[in-house]
């Protein structure tokens, strides 16, 4: 049920609103004047809707009539073991949403679809949006398939596709790499088991990602944007940063079970197209983000 203060506010539908990124996106859009709604069904502003249920998605969109949409809901853990679920949620679920939005008499003014930089695969150097995709796992293939499918709807819906590179922040699950490392240092663990240590990534701060999405809603739709910092950090370098932040050292061991086949060795994005569209974003040095996470084990409200 909408609160009285929400009645005159345009609705922003954020799928995945109860997740890590959704929490920050919802707060940003609320500050920008939207009444944020989701499809998770865990509080008064969300509905319990399964994205793979075509009719349920259609009904929810009819009720909400969103002015803008940020579609974050996905199976986003690369090592997720159920390939069928990955494709059903990431591709079919997105199609159901777009079909429902296109059926509205007055559709949304802007829809942001979250893809992934994983679609680029093992590409060295600075990666721009025109680099040919070379996905190396089911998650990446599902996101690339989602992009191609979404282009079937661009004549009816104003769509922007974003390809976020790795990002982190307070509240991210410890099944992801950096929160796991931060937690081990916070608890003064003697040992941490990791996968391939010879990898490097473009790591960004979730707050910069969130600001990017909010600003993109204000510019014309129709492009693809890397969401990235443009800076690449090695895993060994991150361990060193955390040693300096925590004053603690631990043994780092490689667990072969954590080494994924077709591991993407390097990812560094080119943020210049994004900056041209929305202006320069606040810069968060990775060490600053890691310290924020180290000092704040709970997600801020």
162-200 pLDDT tens trace = 999 999 999 999 989 999 999 999 999 999 999 888 888
> Which residue among 24, 87, 139, 294 is the active-site one?
139
* 216, part of any domain: yes
* 287, part of any domain: no
* 242, part of any domain: no
In this structure, is the dihedral angle defined by the CA atoms of residues 278, 280, 285 and 290, taken in order, positive or negative?
negative
CATH number of residue 220's parent domain:
3.40.50.720
191-200 pLDDT tens trace = 999 988 888 8
* 207, part of any domain: yes
Overall domain count for the chain? 1
104-149 pLDDT tens trace = 999 999 999 999 999 998 887 899 999 999 998 999 999 999 999 9
In the residue annotation, 139 being an active-site residue is answered as yes
Cα–Cα distance, 249 to 239 (Å, whole number): 9
If one counts every other C-beta atom within 10 angstroms of the C-beta of residue 232, the result is 17
How many helices and strands, by DSSP H and E, does the chain display?
A: 10, 12
* 177, part of any domain: no
Whole-prediction pTM value? 0.91
Within 13 Å and on the Cβ side, how many CA atoms surround 88?
A: 9
pLDDT score at 190: 96
Q: Which domain holds residue 22?
A: 9-171+203-231+269-282
């Amino acid at each position: 049920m909408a609160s009285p203060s929400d009645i005159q506010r345009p609705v922003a539908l954020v799928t995945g609103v109860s997740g890590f990124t959704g929490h920050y996106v919802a707060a940003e859009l609320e500050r920008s004047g939207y009444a944020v709604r989701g499809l998770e069904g865990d509080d008064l502003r969300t509905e319990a809707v399964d994205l793979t249920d075509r009719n349920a998605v259609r009904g929810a969109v009819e009720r909400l009539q969103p002015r803008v949409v940020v579609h974050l809901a996905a199976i986003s853990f690369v090592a997720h073991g159920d390939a069928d679920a990955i494709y059903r949620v990431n591709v079919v679920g997105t199609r159901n949403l777009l079909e429902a939005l296109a059926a509205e008499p007055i559709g949304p003014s802007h829809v942001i679809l979250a893809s992934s930089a994983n679609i680029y695969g093992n590409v060295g150097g600075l990666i721009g949006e025109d680099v040919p995709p070379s996905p190396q796992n089911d998650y990446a293939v599902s996101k690339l398939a989602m992009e191609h499918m979404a282009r079937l709807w661009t004549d009816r819906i104003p769509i922007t596709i974003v390809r976020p590179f790795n990002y982190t922040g307070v509240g991210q699950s410890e099944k992801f790499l950096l929160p796991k490392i931060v937690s081990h240092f916070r608890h003064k663990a003697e040992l941490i088991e990791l996968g391939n240590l010879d990898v490097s990534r473009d790591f960004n701060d979730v707050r910069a990602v969130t600001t990017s999405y909010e600003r993109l809603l204000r510019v014309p739709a129709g492009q693809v944007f890397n969401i990235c910092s443009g800076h690449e950090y090695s895993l060994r370098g991150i361990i060193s940063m955390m040693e300096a932040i925590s004053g603690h050292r631990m043994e780092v061991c490689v667990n072969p079970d954590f080494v994924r086949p077709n591991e993407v060795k390097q990812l560094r994005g080119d943020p210049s197209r994004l900056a041209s569209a929305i202006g320069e974003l606040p810069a968060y040095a990775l060490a600053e983000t890691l310290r924020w996470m180290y000092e704040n084990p709970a997600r801020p409200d």
